Chains A and B, each alone.
Chain A
Amino acid sequence: MENIIELQGVNKSFNGFKLQDFTISVKRGFVTGFIGGNGVGKSTTIKLIMNLLQPDSGTVSIFGLDYKNHEKEIKQRIGFVFDENILYENVTLNEMKRIIKPAYKNWDDALFNQYVKKFELPLNKNIKNFSKGMMMKASLTIALSHHAELIIMDEPTSGLDPIFRRELLELLHELMQNGEKTIFFSTHITTDLDRIADYITFIHNGEHIFTKEYYKIEEEYAIVKGETNLLDRDTEREFIAIRKSNYGFEALTGNKQRTEEVFGDAAILEKPTLEDIMLYTKRGKDKYVESHS
């Protein structure tokens, strides 16, 4: 399968924060959800992908091309949405369109108008008077109007109401219909991903934890609940992190099958949410840091 985005052994120190030997790939024709807590390197990664930051070492390749020799060619094929408004505020959407349109060879006015109509966006109102949702819709409209093959979005759903979040997901489904487009978006609203994400890429503290097909996560990970007397040095090793209380324990396993064999019917296994996985991975890493420092 062809990779649209490839980061190979990327190192980047930036603002007292480090991406270390960071390697990820994003597959063509699918939606990849990019998850991780605040300040773990999601935005930095997206900026590396957009060439807004350059790696200290390692390679970034988009569509199999590098930024050094093909910057404009790559960016022609990308549509982007950031979590902050990056459009000029003192102009109308129509004026903004006239500024951006000449940058793209494949700009499609008809498509632009179609989205403007669909999102009910005012063309002649200053962008600074737009609500957060409208700004997002305006950014999205611009991102989608030049037939981009790769759509990159940084927290597109943050601060949006549930109804629009749903509508956005429907729109993404529509975009994915011909199989030519690839979507890569970061989010911390993990419930958005249930319905659309094919792959999940999870990072924590500048480190790539995994990239997996969404259904594989359910197959491999499980929340385990049971009585604390089940735990000993050996069984604890099965878990990524454990939360103990007076009433029992709750833990995350990354090898559901083996855990099932070890505990049999003595413990309850449940489907984990992405939030569970994020939380326990963080706890597991923190504990690791503690015990090794």
Chain B
Amino acid sequence: MLNLIRKDIALQKKTLIILLLPLFAYLFFGSSTIWIGVLFCIAIIMQGFSMDEKSSSNLLFNSLPYTRKEIVSSKYVGACVFTFLVLATIFMGNLIIHKEMIQLEQLLFTMSIVMLFISFAFPFSYLLNSQYLMIAFAVLFVLYFIIVNMFIPNLNDRIRELVQTALSFDNSLLYLIVVVSVLLIYIVSWMLSIRIYSKKVF
């Protein structure tokens, strides 16, 4: 399974290096670290995922001595590895550019959002295809836009407030609950993906 993760990293080496530039640019202009973190993590993870979606890649890896369980698991573990890499880069970047440490809460929050996204995106993509994921998100975005414009004009602000309040909580127990629930959702999603993928026909 480690081979499969290593393969994903090797294949995305070039992309990762290219992405380093905009990442530092964003950091330099001081955009929200959470926003950048989430964006880059998801972009990298989903690109790695879509690379292996073609039936030819599925044929290849299922014919090699790997089990379907390992193939799915490598994507879930790999997603954690990529998240860690991106967050570590952001952390270091921030330290170098702004000479400041990013709060642990911020990192945890970013990680949770990424993991929640993956928990939804992976089973969905195994069931259909990650191309449909883009459509699903486009639809969601349009819906959100309609809601913001027609029903709750200050939804953006409310979400921002919510995030701020969440971050300002000084309650480590609350953080623990959040992290544990995200982890649980992640694991459930992982098991679900294995089940979906085991029945898949190439």
Contacts and interface: CB of A to CB of B under 8 A. Distances in A.
Interface of A: 14, 47, 50-53, 71-73, 75-76, 78, 80, 82, 84-88, 91, 95, 98-100, 102-104
A102 B202 CA distance: 24
A86 B57 contact: yes
Contact of B10 (A71, A82, A95): A95
Contacts of A53: 201
Contacts of A52: 59, 62-63, 202
A69 B57 CA distance: 24
For the complex of A and B, the 4 pairs showing the least CB-CB separation, nearest first, are: A75-B65, A102-B3, A86-B60, A86-B56
B11 interface: yes
B25 interface: no
18 contacts: A47-B202, A51-B62, A52-B202, A53-B201, A71-B65, A71-B67, A72-B66, A72-B67, A84-B59, A85-B56, A87-B60, A88-B51, A88-B57, A98-B10, A102-B3, A102-B6, A103-B66, A104-B65
Determine the main DSSP class of A at the interface with B: mixed
B135 interface: no
Interface of B: 3, 6-7, 10-11, 51, 56-57, 59-60, 62-67, 201-202
A17 B152 CA distance: 53
Contacts, number: 53
A83 to B, nearest CB: 11
B81 to A, nearest CB: 17
B65 A86 contact: no
A218 to B, nearest CB: 35
Given A86-B56, A102-B3, A75 B11 contact: no
A99 B10 contact: yes
Contact of B63 (A50, A84, A95, A102): A50
B136 to A, nearest CB: 27
Contacts of B67: 71-72
B63 A72 contact: no
B37 to A, nearest CB: 27
B65 A99 contact: no
A80 B201 CA distance: 18
Contacts of B56: 84-87
Nearest to B60: A86
A257 B197 CA distance: 53
Nearest to A77: B65
A82 B11 contact: no
Contacts of A99: 7, 10-11
Residue picked from B6, B57, B60, B63, most chain A C-beta under 10 Å: B63
Nearest to A53: B201
A47 B3 CA distance: 24
Given A85-B56, A86-B56, A88-B11, A103 B202 contact: no
A99 B57 CA distance: 12
